[in-house]
């Protein structure tokens, strides 16, 4: 056994010895009695093992899986950084701060010494994560990089298909939900933090375009893309992460304007997800596969959690949302987690094996951190 893996196993055992009375597992990693979960302890276990298992300390990036595949993929770096920031903001632990500090140079180097990318959505995810890193650490380099990437993202807007940010630089006619929802969130957050009216207008324009072309106001569905050359909207592809970023962008504009229509849109998008993108037999969010799809549910959870935290959300709606999220989190932790390695699978009710991709693991870790956040806010 490699020394790194041995150290990791010892660390995991120590973690579970510290929290087994609270999270319903014994020291051998087996489920015990069905007791109330201590989400703080669960998140400590989840996020620390996330770093130990996926962080490539030699080159300072998150690698493809928890075993021997050290491939670098750009867009998952953003969500892995988000998980790390979640844990750092919750704990203040230097394990997470060190990772945040090292991420910048490592990811930049692996991405060709730049944060630019062919795909506009991939840059948006990383710009959002870097803005959060700036707010968590006050490191100016993260602010500078986020704004620099944002300036490149804006070049993706063109008049084909009525506007919108393109999906990729070599395919400007494909206007996707995944390249517009995060862009709107980024523009809105930049406005709220730094006060540029131009960024506010960008957020409003991007949102208006996505709502007109990719949002179904009757049921809350967010369609995947518009092909501007043919005028065809891809209505068959509806994914949790597009639902999440649309509701997240609506939420950001509600913060800015106070206009109730944005909150109503966010609720519609959330309700569509809860009614349609689940396994109806158990109310668990459906598997969207591994690879890129492994990240989709985690993105939804991130913005859905922010909606739950909104003080203006009707209490009956909040209660319904909390019940749904708690059920998914409890099911993942009690049934879907490989407790020997703290690994999550693509379907949160099915126990994970001994190898999981970074994308899939990130989604599970986001859910556990969300549960801890809601517990700390006295909502769980």
Rounded distance, CA 66 to CA 358, Å?
7
What are 119's strand-pairing partners? Answer: 168
What is the C-alpha to C-alpha distance for residues 126 and 120, in angstroms, rounded to an integer? 10
Question: Nearest-5° angle of CA 248, CA 252, CA 256?
Answer: 165
Give the whole-angstrom CA distance, residue 209 versus residue 205. 6
Sheet holding 166-168, edge to edge: 166-168, 171-176, 225-227, 232-234
9, 220, 324 from 327: Cα distances, Å: 29, 22, 5
Residue partners of 287: CB distance under 8 A and separation at least 6: 293, 346, 347
Please tell me the predicted confidence (pLDDT) of residue 35. 77
What Rg value do the Cα atoms of the chain yield, rounded?
20
The 10s digit of each residue's pLDDT in 170-220 is 999 999 999 999 999 999 999 999 999 999 999 999 999 999 999 999 999
pTM (2 d.p.): 0.93
Domains and CATH numbers, the chain: 39-376 (1.50.10.20)
Cα separation, 9 vs 339, whole angstroms? 11
Over residues 275-306, the pLDDT tens digits come to: 999 999 999 999 999 999 999 999 999 999 99
Query: What whole-number distance in Å separates Cα of residue 88 and Cα of residue 246?
Result: 26
List pLDDT tens digits, range 14-58.
444 334 334 444 444 444 446 799 999 999 999 999 999 999 999
Looking at residue 34, what is its pLDDT? 63
pLDDT band at 129 (very low <50, low <70, confident <90, very high): very high
Give the distance between the most distant pair of CA atoms in the chain: 59
Asked if 380 and 374 count as a contact pair (C-beta separation under 8 A), the reply is yes
pLDDT of residue 8: 46
Q: What is the pLDDT of residues 333-348, one digit of tens each?
A: 999 999 999 999 999 9
Cβ atoms of 173 and 237 closer than 8 Å: no
Q: Are 78 and 125 in contact (CB under 8 A)?
A: yes
């Amino acid at each position: 056994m490699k020394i790194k893996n041995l150290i990791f196993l010892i660390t995991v055992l120590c973690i579970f010895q510290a929290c087994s009375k609270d999270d319903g597992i014994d020291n051998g990693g087996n489920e015990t009695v069905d007791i109330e979960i201590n989400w703080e302890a669960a998140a400590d276990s989840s996020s620390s093992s996330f770093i130990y298992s996926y962080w490539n300390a030699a080159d300072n990036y998150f690698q493809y899986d928890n075993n021997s595949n050290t491939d670098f993929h750009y867009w998952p770096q953003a969500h892995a950084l988000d998980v790390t920031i979640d844990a750092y903001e919750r704990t203040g632990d230097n394990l997470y701060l060190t990772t945040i500090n090292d991420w910048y140079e490592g990811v930049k180097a692996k991405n060709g010494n730049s944060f630019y990318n062919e795909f506009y959505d991939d840059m948006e995810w990383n710009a959002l994560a870097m803005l959060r890193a700036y707010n968590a650490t006050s490191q100016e380099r993260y602010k500078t990089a986020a704004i620099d990437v944002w300036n490149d993202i804006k070049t993706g807007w063109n008049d084909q298909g009525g506007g919108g940010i393109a999906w990729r630089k070599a395919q400007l006619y494909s206007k996707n939900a995944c390249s517009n929802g995060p862009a709107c969130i980024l523009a809105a957050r930049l406005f709220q933090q730094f006060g540029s009216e131009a960024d506010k207008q960008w957020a409003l324009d991007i949102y208006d375009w996505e709502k007109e072309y990719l949002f179904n106001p009757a049921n809350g569905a967010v369609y995947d893309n518009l092909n501007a050359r043919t005028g065809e909207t891809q209505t068959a592809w509806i994914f949790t992460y597009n639902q999440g970023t649309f509701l997240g962008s609506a939420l950001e504009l509600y913060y800015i304007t106070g206009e109730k229509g944005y909150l109503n849109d966010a609720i519609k998008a959330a309700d569509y997800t809860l009614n349609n993108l689940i396994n109806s037999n158990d109310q668990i969010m459906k598997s969207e596969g591994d690879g890129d799809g492994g990240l989709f549910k985690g993105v939804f959870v991130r913005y859905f959690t922010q909606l739950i935290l909104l003080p203006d959300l009707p209490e009956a709606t909040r209660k319904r949302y909390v019940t749904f999220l708690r059920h998914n989190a409890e099911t993942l932790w009690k049934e879907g987690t490989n407790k020997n390695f703290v690994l999550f699978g693509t379907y949160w009710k099915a126990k994970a094996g001994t190898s999981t991709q970074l994308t899939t693991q990130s989604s599970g870790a986001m859910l556990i951190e969300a549960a801890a956040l809601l517990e700390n806010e006295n909502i769980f």
